[in-house]
A and B are shown apart, each in its own frame.
Chain A
Amino acid sequence: MKHDLTITPLFMNAAGCLGFSPDLHSGVEWTRLGAFVTNPVSLEPRSPAHGQRFHAYPGGFLLHTGYPNPGLTQALRRHVNHWRRSPIPVIVHLLGRNPVEVEKMVRRLEGVEGIMGVEVGVTSQAGLVQVVSFTQAALGELAVIMRLPLERAAELGQAAVQAGASAVSLAPPRGAYPAVNGEIIQGRMYGPSVLPLALKAVQELTRLGVPTIGGGGVYSHQDMDAMIAEGALAVQLDSVLWRYAGIKLFT
């Protein structure tokens, strides 16, 4: 059965921000979200990154975690029942090293009750060929969202949709910052300072007619409304969910 991408209410969490499945005992009002996006899942297990993994700066922070996860087999074992019982549709975020891995993972998720779609990540250096091949590998019963590097989303977005993606979403931009010891830390950027970049990307994508899930630096209703007003079909919330440990979910 082919799943359509239906997100009501118009916002959801970003991948990596609320765990692998909705915790029904956490106090989070899950029905305030239109969908739940899982932490990134790879075919094989991944360990946490070495070295410094977090660095705060005015307006945000850098995160370099390596996307640790137990691999698809263990993720299914631990979370498939939670996905089936989820009060909101689940979108599984996939990290594949190549199209073959993406296709393998998608096939194993098809038919799992509760899963509406997959969100497929590509590297920050991904070109048109990678985006198209990963999109085509993911096509099947589940809706496909391609998560594109924010800085180059306008360049890659049309290709993703023409290859069959239902929508695109925006990965956190990458940056570098000097640590106290003089080392340069690299990682994904989060925080209110990301919003101007993210909103510009949404504007560019929607002008091109690309169905876009906005996100990045959204910290208020005003930020969300701005993304929707610029044509985003939904909005992803990332580190704002951590500020209040998820309890105050836009009350």
Chain B
Amino acid sequence: MKACIACPPVAIPKAGQYLLASSGDEAGAALGIPIFIAEGCINGFWTAPPIPNTWSPGTNLDLVGPLGHAFTLPREVRRLGLAAMGDTVYRLMPLTESASQAQRSLTLFTDLPLPSLPASVEAYPIASLAEALDWPDFMAIDLPLQRLGELRAMFGLVDGSRLPFPAQVLITTPMPCAGLAGCGACAVPGRRGWKLTCEDGPVFDLDSLKW
């Protein structure tokens, strides 16, 4: 389920960034939860699912952020591949919004249920990723940390070989301290030591990670 969050424009995250959201009604809740943008709406934005089932229309939220690094697409990208390998395609949907303006073709690779997609977006199963490497000139990927090790096999790449195009990946993993403490719960293996999803991500250049 999505939720429409009313908030000032300065609080609206970019694709891949997150807000830390807490409800004052949840007295026993230990932590806030990270929420990501799915699309804009009047006076705020639609969050990507999931949202807590304790939230209902009218729930007041404390919001901190936007936090973390967003997707950054070079202007010259013309063939954008999206791969949704987590629990929702919605975190990648903001990247489809400016496609026609930027004269971009879009292909979404996912096995997840599809929302109604813009006409400009073609959808294929994840299994076809390996055959499609000659098409995109950039890829944006959404996957949980525990699946990072599967990426190479999904692309059909042998150890040591690289993708023929730049890619960024939104890593989803619990971020209990939201960048405040460097607690290490969200640590991701980087090429030069560990990185923290909460402050170095959640969007990483794929080349900066060990995958």
Instruction: Judge whether B159 is part of the interface by a CB distance below 8 angstroms.
Output: no
Instruction: Judge whether B154 is part of the interface by a CB distance below 8 angstroms.
Output: no
For B33, give the chain A residue with the smallest CB separation.
A56
Instruction: Judge whether A177 is part of the interface by a CB distance below 8 angstroms.
Output: no
Bin the interface of chain A by size. Answer: 35 or more
For B20, give the chain A residue with the smallest CB separation.
A245
Contact B32 A244 (CB under 8 A): yes
Instruction: Judge whether A47 is part of the interface by a CB distance below 8 angstroms.
Output: yes
How many whole Å from A193's CB to the nearest CB in chain B? 8
Instruction: Judge whether A17 is part of the interface by a CB distance below 8 angstroms.
Output: yes
Contact B184 A17 (CB under 8 A): no
Contact B176 A242 (CB under 8 A): yes
Determine the main DSSP class of A at the interface with B: loop
Contact A242 B182 (CB under 8 A): no
How many whole Å from B171's CB to the nearest CB in chain A? 13
The interface-forming segment of B2-10, B22-30, B116-124, B128-136 is B22-30
How many whole Å from B170's CB to the nearest CB in chain A? 18
Contact A61 B28 (CB under 8 A): no
> Chain B contacts of A17 at CB under 8 A?
177, 180-181, 183
Contact A53 B30 (CB under 8 A): no
For B19, give the chain A residue with the smallest CB separation.
A245
For A248, give the chain B residue with the smallest CB separation.
B62
What is the interface size of chain B, counting residues whose CB is below 8 A from a CB of the partner?
26
Q: How far is the CA of A193 from the CA of B31 in the complex (A)?
A: 13
Please give the residue numbers on chain B whose beta carbons come within 8 Å of chain A beta carbons, in ascending order. Answer: 20, 22, 27-32, 62, 64-65, 67, 174, 176-187, 194
Name 11 extra pairs, CB < 8 A, besides A17-B180, A245-B20.
A19-B180, A48-B187, A56-B30, A56-B31, A61-B31, A66-B184, A242-B31, A243-B29, A244-B62, A245-B64, A245-B178
Give 6 closest A-B pairs by Cβ, nearest first. A191-B30, A48-B187, A54-B174, A65-B184, A68-B184, A245-B64
Pick 22 A–B contacts, CB within 8 A, sort by A.
A26-B180, A39-B181, A39-B182, A47-B194, A48-B184, A54-B176, A54-B185, A59-B28, A60-B30, A63-B183, A65-B185, A66-B184, A68-B187, A192-B27, A239-B176, A242-B180, A244-B32, A244-B62, A245-B64, A245-B67, A245-B180, A247-B64
Please give the residue numbers on chain A whose beta carbons come within 8 Å of chain B beta carbons, in ascending order. Answer: 16-20, 26, 39, 47-49, 53-54, 56, 58-61, 63, 65-68, 190-193, 239, 241-248
